[in-house]
């Protein structure tokens, strides 16, 4: 009889209100604005363990400048969940928790709980609109966070002293913040600019290196892919431009990827023999 009563009695436990879904892996995000036709030469190549064949380019070869990147390449296109990308303009304020929710909340001086809220979304949207990030739906994605980190580092990128101060030029590569700059002593000569380092399984090597070869119009011989303004510093790892987005959450295959304009200007700052210091760790690696 007691057993029967236990079976038929209704449960009285309260049902907790569901909060925003937890953020998924950054590698599952897609551009919030559909990109143009994909070309194989827009991506980095997975041969960074292999040093290139070093030679001295002829004056004629060196005079040829790599082609410019399409205008839309450097657009600040946020990476969002596929469901929101498909929904398009019908999503005015994202209800989803982004992979950089806590960091963005802290930067905007919001309540830091790592959960998307209406207030969070409004504040993130306002920032995205001001900075020209599209879609400006308030999703705390990699482009929004990268923009915030660049703004924070602009005046004094080495405020934490992570890049050693030397009397000579040092190209500083901060894997944690995904920023790079060149300094001599305490003076910043170039940058900081956003960059993209190695993905999981292809992490950019850390430590001290030297630029040992510069090749303006380098091509990957394995993948027939351009690596404009290449400056090699560790085996097959180099600073070089890509024709795709440096904000792609997947990361490179080890190289330090730059926007073409940044790679072009860095080319005129650093020389063969200059020191490179790499430290930190890219999120997700």
Supply the residues annotated as catalytic. Answer: 240, 255
Kindly write down the DSSP assignment for every residue of the chain, as one continuous string. Answer: -HHHHHHHSPP-PPPPPP-PPPP--GGG-EESS------GGGS--S-TTSPP------HHHHTPPPPPPPGGGGS-B-EE-HHHHHHGGG-SS--SPPTTHHHHHHHTT---SS---HHHHHHHHHHHHHHT-BS-S----HHHHHHHHHHHHSS-TTTT--SPP-SSEEEEEETTTTEEEEEETTEEEEEEEE-B-B-TTSPPPPEEEE--EEEEEEEETTTTEEEEEEEEEETTEEEEE-SS-TT-TT-BSSSEEE-HHHHHHHHTT--TT-EEEEES--TT-
Where b means 16+ CB within 10 Å and e means fewer, 215-229 reads bbbbbbeebebbbbb
CA 245 to centroid of chain Cα atoms: 8
- What does each C-alpha distance from 255 to 2, 23, 68, 205, 223 come to in angstroms? 70, 27, 20, 9, 15
């Amino acid at each position: 009889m007691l057993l029967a009563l236990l079976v038929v009695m209704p449960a009285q436990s309260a049902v907790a209100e569901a909060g925003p879904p937890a953020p998924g892996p950054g590698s599952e995000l897609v551009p919030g604005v559909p990109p143009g036709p994909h070309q194989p030469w827009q991506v980095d190549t997975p041969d960074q363990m292999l040093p290139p064949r070093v030679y001295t380019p002829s004056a004629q070869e060196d005079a040829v400048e790599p082609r410019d990147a399409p205008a839309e390449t450097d657009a600040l296109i946020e990476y969002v969940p596929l469901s929101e990308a498909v929904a398009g303009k019908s999503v005015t304020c994202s209800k989803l928790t982004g992979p950089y929710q806590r960091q963005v909340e802290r930067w905007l001086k919001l309540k830091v709980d790592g959960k998307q809220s209406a207030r969070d979304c409004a504040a993130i949207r306002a920032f995205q609109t001001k900075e020209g990030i599209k879609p400006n739906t308030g999703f705390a994605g990699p482009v929004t966070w990268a923009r915030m980190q660049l703004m924070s580092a602009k005046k004094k990128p080495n405020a934490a002293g992570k890049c050693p101060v030397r009397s000579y030029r040092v190209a500083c590569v901060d894997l944690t913040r995904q920023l790079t700059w060149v300094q001599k002593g305490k003076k910043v000569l170039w940058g900081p600019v956003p960059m993209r380092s190695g993905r999981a399984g292809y992490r950019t090597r850390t430590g001290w290196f030297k630029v040992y070869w510069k090749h303006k119009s380098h091509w990957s011989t394995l993948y027939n892919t351009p690596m404009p303004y290449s400056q090699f510093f560790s085996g097959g790892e180099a600073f070089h431009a890509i024709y795709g987005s440096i904000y792609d959450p997947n990361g490179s295959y080890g190289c330090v990827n730059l926007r073409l304009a940044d790679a072009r200007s860095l080319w005129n700052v650093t020389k063969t023999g200059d020191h490179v210091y790499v430290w930190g760790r890219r999120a997700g690696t």
